[in-house]
Amino acid sequence: MHPFRKAVEARDEAAIEALLADDVVFTSPVAFKPYPGKAITAAILRGVMRVFEDFRYLKEIGAEGAADHALVFETTVAGKRITGCDFIHLDADGKIDEFMVMVRPLSGAQALSEAMAAQFERIQREAVEQIEREAAGS
């Protein structure tokens, strides 16, 4: 089992964040522009965990030790059933530096977009707070 899948299934936010590279780029299924950086990516993933209901991974695609992996999942958002895939790329240190999510059907993507829009003020606040904590600690 991929360490990211294991962390997500355990709902272990600290472990998820620890797997992200500082320069990770998150590409959302419902936003045009990618989100660069660990703080915003971790905050988005926490937001996703708040809106996904009965989330489960169905399968993993990618050889052990490979840089690229696909994790197929199912979930429900606002009563809409969603099938999706997390595409992750690992850097030389084994950290996730590219994270792209795709979902279907359109009605599920729309429900996800609305649910995440409702979370976005909190997501931005969490990311800014994390950046400020890290700056104060250095």
With beta carbons less than 8 A apart as the criterion, state whether 40 and 29 touch.
Answer: no
Residue-level pLDDT, tens digit, the chain, 138 residues: 789 999 999 999 999 999 999 999 999 998 889 999 999 999 999 999 999 999 999 999 998 889 999 999 999 999 999 999 999 999 999 999 999 999 999 999 999 999 999 999 999 999 999 989 888 886
3-132: in CATH 3.10.450.50: yes
**CB within 8 Å of 135: residues ≥ 6 apart:** none
pTM of the complete model? 0.91
Q: What is the pLDDT of residue 117?
A: 92
Question: Where in the chain are the domains?
Answer: 3-132
| pLDDT at position 138 | 65
Query: Beta partners for 35?
Result: 26
5 Cβ contact partners less than 8 Å away, ≥ 6 residues apart? 57, 60, 71
Give dist(CA 40, CA 13) in Å, integer: 13
